[in-house]
Amino acid sequence: MKPLFFFLILLLNTALFATVPIIYDIHGSSPALDTNMTQFLNQWRTDTITPVQEGNYTNVIVNGDTTQKTVSLTFDDSPDENNTDKVLDILKHYDVKASFFMIGDPMNDENATAVTRASNEGHLVLNHSFNHPRLTRLTSEEVIAQLNATSERIQHLTGKYPLLMRPPYGSINQTTLDTINTHGFTTVLWSLDSLDWALKDKNAIIENVITNVRNGDIILMHSGRANNSSVEALPEIIEKLTQMGYTFLPLETMVNIKAYK
Ligand SMILES: [Zn+2]
Residue from 91, 89, 108, 111 nearest 99 by CA: 91
What does pTM read for this prediction?
0.92
Nearest-angstrom CA–CA distance, 155 and 261: 10
Output the pLDDT for position 81. Answer: 83
- State residue 110's pLDDT score: 85
Higher pLDDT, 173 or 224: 173
Asked if pLDDT for residue 3 goes beyond 80, the answer is no
| Centre of ligand 1 from the C-alpha of residue 128, in Å | 7
Segment 42-94, tens digit of pLDDT: 999 999 999 999 999 999 999 999 999 999 999 999 998 889 999 999 999 99
Separation of CA 2 and ligand 1 centre (Å): 57
Type of residue found at 237:
I
201 is catalytic: no
What does the pLDDT average to over 24-34? 94
Give 77 Cα–ligand 1 centroid separation in angstroms: 5
On the question of pLDDT at 17 being above 70, the answer is no
- What CATH class does 26-255 carry? alpha beta
Catalytic residue among 76, 77, 85, 193: 76
Helix, strand, coil abundance in the chain, percent, nearest 5: 50, 15, 40
Which pLDDT score, from 0 to 100, does residue 82 have?
87
Statement: residue 222 has pLDDT above 70: yes
Is residue 152 pLDDT above 70, yes or no?
A: yes
Q: How far away, in angstroms, is 14 Cα from ligand 1 center?
A: 39
Is 222 noted as a catalytic residue in this protein? yes
Residues with CB under 5 A from ligand 1 (ion): 76-77, 168
How many C-beta neighbours within 10 Å does residue 184 have?
A: 11
Least confident range from 38-42, 88-92, 106-110, 160-164: namely 106-110
Ligand 1 mean position to 39 CA, how many Å? 20
